[in-house]
Chains A and B, each alone.
Chain A
Amino acid sequence: MSIEVRSLSKRFGQVRALEDVSFEVPAGSLMALLGPSGGGKSTVLRLITGLEVPDSGTVVIDGVDVTHVPVRSRGIGFCFQHYAPFRHMTVWQNVAFGLKVRRRPKAEIAARVQELLELVRLDELAARYPSQLSGGQRQRMALARALAVEPKVLLLDEPFGALDAQVRKELRTWLRELVERVKVTTVLVTHDQEEAMEVADQIAIIHGGRLEQVGTPAECYDHPANEFVLTFLGSATRHDGFWVRPHDLILTRDDAGNGPGVRQGRVTRITRLGFEARVEVTLEDESTTVVQLPRRELDRLEVERGDRVSVALGSPVPIGDVGTAQPVDQR
């Protein structure tokens, strides 16, 4: 079931939360809404859910305009940022809730709840209350609860925001597998670019209430629509007038001359981060540039602080050349 939002705008009092945002999520795919906090991503999600009403624009789910359809009739599974568990109900009762209010037969509810609890690996904790669960378990319970009613689309607001780093990574992979198995069109909100790039088929970058770019993670990374997208998706540095990713700069010991894109400088700092290293070079014009390279490469070059080096431009990032990505806002 596809989701389509067309020219959504929303104000809260004097604040423009969202302006003219349009994108489409193809059926069965996973879209990440990515951007800094307060940029409007959660508002988009709440508009799709129907918890907020747009000032203008439409929300279309599975070809049907649902802009004015009440929340409970939209066929949406929504996971809140802090999971909003029903604290007075057990895990089992939480997952069964949507089926109970739909007055499904008891046997069907029992079977479906059991199936979902197994899917999210909580079947042994069915009798527990949310307060007795860890953060990750609560998150999985919220997912099972949302999936119980067989929603057409699944919406997740910062699904991993409240979890610690290790659990985040595990759940990320698990969520990706889950979405593929259940085959539900999913939109998730995150401010973590690594998370978005890892789980999503497509990412929509939202900043200051505007849509900056929509595309696959690779498209957005390699062909950012503007400098904001470029710097938000990963570190970038200016070199000889071009924007470039630090790992696309080439560091050499020898004086490679002053060809186009080649600059000389002195190493002012070396940071070793696991398998890769960052080398800060102060160029002759006193500007600094950062080169990122594998540790093995650094060891081979035998570069140390204070050494004279050359920095050459590998491949600059073409900004504004959006490639095959969908068109972005016209500013």
Chain B
Amino acid sequence: MSRYVTRYGIRAVATLYVGLLVGVPVGSVFFRALRPGLDSFWSQITTPPAVHALVLTLEVGALAVALNTAFGLAAALILARHRFPGAALVEALIDLPLSISPVVAGLALLLCYSSTQGLLGPFLSRHGIEVLFSFPSIVMACAFVSLPYVVREVQPVLIELGTDQEQAAETLGAGPFAIFWRITLPSIRWALAYGVLLTTARVLGEFGAVAVVSGSILDKTQTLTLYVDSEFTNFNSAGAYAGALLIAVISMAVLAALSVSQSRERQVL
């Protein structure tokens, strides 16, 4: 009897916790965004600033995710397969974005690339490159905060995988490219996909670092999260809810795409 109480008690507590912390607030965003009706929602997300913010977010997201996927894969391969001096430092630097606040990350970029007092800013400025308050700085901020995910997902899988299969492929006549495409990549593809997913979610939701480096210039450097924030502070709560819902929907679509492809290609591993 008490066993059932315990079991259902734990379930109830867990459900309540997740529900109150995540379910109800996210649900209320859906509710508030859609309460005025789909037409109203649609008109809120098709205003020029909203569309611009959406396009910018997708562009920034695509570039930052692509950069961190390529870098993450390379870093994971190098760190998992080679011992070299300075490896520990690289490991620590990769983890750094997890431990420092995005606002601090933004400030760090600001200090480095400021055209008047930055470390690299004045040099770039003299060559006509303005990093801050423009597209590059937003990509850099997003890439900065989402740097660890691909590496941290892929590296342990590579270590666990070992090099036996790659060596076997080599004895069977496969060159480096064939080994990578046919053996290494398929073996780590779910870890990689999960890393990409986490990176994407992180980039779409990034606020702090982007807020600092972009200047949140309307129709220019305003991403979706910044748009939601500015609508909210400008007392356009309908626009803010609509934007928030849009972010949530995009994130969930990415998650759904992954789980669908994963279940369709179920592997026995």
Which A residues lie at the B interface, using CB under 8 A? 49, 51, 71-74, 76-78, 80, 82, 84-88, 97-98, 100-102, 129, 131-132, 145-146, 148-149
Cβ–Cβ contact A131 & B269, under 8 A: yes
Cβ–Cβ contact A132 & B172, under 8 A: no
For residue B182, CB closer than 8 A to chain A, the reply is yes
Cβ–Cβ contact A84 & B165, under 8 A: yes
Provide the bound-state CA to CA distance between A149 and B186, in Å: 22
Cβ–Cβ contact B178 & A80, under 8 A: no
Chain A hits for B173, CB < 8 A: 72-73, 98, 101-102, 149
Q: Which of B167, B171, B182, B187 has the most CB of A within 10 A?
A: B171
From B164, B172, B175, B267, contact of A145 by CB (8 A): B172
Given contacts A101-B178, A131-B269, contact A84 B172 (CB under 8 A): no
Cβ–Cβ contact B182 & A101, under 8 A: yes
Chain B hits for A71, CB < 8 A: 167, 170-171
Chain B hits for A78, CB < 8 A: 167-168, 171
Q: Which of A72, A100, A129, A146 has the most CB of B within 10 A?
A: A72
From B165, B171, B187, B267, contact of A49 by CB (8 A): B171
Chain B hits for A149, CB < 8 A: 172-173
Chain A hits for B268, CB < 8 A: 129, 131-132
Cβ–Cβ contact B171 & A146, under 8 A: yes
Cβ–Cβ contact B171 & A101, under 8 A: no
Chain A hits for B58, CB < 8 A: none
Chain A hits for B170, CB < 8 A: 51, 71-72
Given contacts A97-B182, A98-B173, A102-B173, contact A84 B267 (CB under 8 A): no
Scan residues 145-182 of chain B and give those whose CB is less than 8 A from a CB of chain A. 164-165, 167-175, 178, 182
Provide the bound-state CA to CA distance between A51 and B178, in Å: 17
Provide the bound-state CA to CA distance between A129 and B266, in Å: 12
Chain A hits for B51, CB < 8 A: none
Provide the bound-state CA to CA distance between A71 and B186, in Å: 22
Chain A hits for B174, CB < 8 A: 72, 97-98, 101
For residue B112, CB closer than 8 A to chain A, the reply is no
Cβ–Cβ contact B165 & A87, under 8 A: yes
Give the secondary structure class of B's interface.
helix
Chain B hits for A102, CB < 8 A: 173
Size class of the contact patch on chain B: 10 to 19
Report A229 CB to chain B, min CB distance, Å: 31
Query: Sorted from nearest, which 5 A-B pairs have the closest CB atoms?
Result: A98-B172, A84-B164, A84-B168, A78-B171, A129-B268
Chain A hits for B171, CB < 8 A: 49, 51, 71-72, 74, 76-78, 146
Chain A hits for B269, CB < 8 A: 87-88, 129, 131
For residue B183, CB closer than 8 A to chain A, the reply is yes
B225-257 interface bits toward A, Cβ cutoff 8 Å, 1 = contact, 0 = none? 000000000000000000000000000000000
Cβ–Cβ contact B164 & A97, under 8 A: no
Which B residues lie at the A interface, using CB under 8 A? 164-165, 167-175, 178, 182-183, 186-187, 267-269
Chain B hits for A145, CB < 8 A: 168, 172
Chain A hits for B182, CB < 8 A: 97, 100-101
Chain B hits for A74, CB < 8 A: 171
Report B9 CB to chain A, min CB distance, Å: 38
Provide the bound-state CA to CA distance between A177 and B151, in Å: 48
Report B131 CB to chain A, min CB distance, Å: 42
Provide the bound-state CA to CA distance between A223 and B212, in Å: 83
Provide the bound-state CA to CA distance between A132 and B182, in Å: 21
Provide the bound-state CA to CA distance between A97 and B182, in Å: 9
Cβ–Cβ contact A88 & B267, under 8 A: yes
Report B178 CB to chain A, min CB distance, Å: 5
Cβ–Cβ contact B172 & A97, under 8 A: yes
From A49, A86, A129, A132, contact of B169 by CB (8 A): A86
Report A149 CB to chain B, min CB distance, Å: 6
Provide the bound-state CA to CA distance between A64 and B261, in Å: 49
Provide the bound-state CA to CA distance between A49 and B164, in Å: 13
Known: A72-B174, A87-B165, A88-B187. 5 other contacts (CB 8 A): A82-B164, A98-B172, A101-B182, A129-B267, A149-B173
Cβ–Cβ contact B187 & A97, under 8 A: no
Cβ–Cβ contact B178 & A84, under 8 A: no
Provide the bound-state CA to CA distance between A87 and B169, in Å: 12
Provide the bound-state CA to CA distance between A82 and B169, in Å: 14
Cβ–Cβ contact B175 & A86, under 8 A: no
Q: Which of B164, B168, B172 has the most CB of A within 10 A?
A: B172
- CB nearest to A93 among chain B residues: B182
29 contacts between A and B (CB under 8 A): A49-B171, A51-B167, A51-B170, A71-B170, A76-B171, A77-B171, A78-B167, A78-B171, A80-B164, A80-B167, A84-B164, A84-B168, A86-B165, A86-B169, A86-B183, A87-B165, A88-B186, A88-B267, A97-B174, A98-B172, A101-B169, A101-B172, A101-B173, A101-B178, A129-B267, A131-B268, A131-B269, A132-B268, A146-B172
Provide the bound-state CA to CA distance between A128 and B174, in Å: 23
Chain A hits for B172, CB < 8 A: 72, 97-98, 101, 145-146, 148-149
Provide the bound-state CA to CA distance between A76 and B167, in Å: 12
